[in-house]
Amino acid sequence: MIHALNTLHIKDLNKWIRLDARGNEENINAYFSLDEEHLAYSIQSELGEIDYRIIMMIWMKDWLIYLRNVKIY
């Protein structure tokens, strides 16, 4: 499963910020901050989750083509 975070570029700060749309429910606080990242859930590496700390700036069409061709093991 892939969960992609949203990203926002703040031009005046020349800074990218990752946003987690899964947040702000009961007991989940993923609020917006310019200074600290606040994800809804922690990465659970023991379950094989990986936090790719890159920002992929590709067109949606290319992304969908990629996802359709991913081999599931």
In a domain, 73, yes or no: no
Q: Output the pLDDT for position 55.
A: 79
When divided into structural domains, the chain yields a total of 1
In a domain, 36, yes or no: yes
Cα angle 43-49-29, degrees, rounded to a multiple of 5: 25
Better pLDDT: 45 or 1: 45
In a domain, 1, yes or no: no
Q: Output the pLDDT for position 59.
A: 64
In a domain, 33, yes or no: yes
Expressed as residue numbers, the domain containing 13 is 6-68
pLDDT digits (tens, 9 = 90+) for 7-62: 888 999 999 898 888 877 788 888 888 999 888 888 889 988 888 887 777 667 77
In a domain, 42, yes or no: yes
In a domain, 45, yes or no: yes
Q: Output the pLDDT for position 35.
A: 92
pTM: 0.62
Q: Give, as one character, the DSSP assignment of residue 28.
A: B
**Residue among 59, 53, 65 nearest 5 (CA):** 53
Measured distance CA(6)–CA(19) in Å, rounded: 5
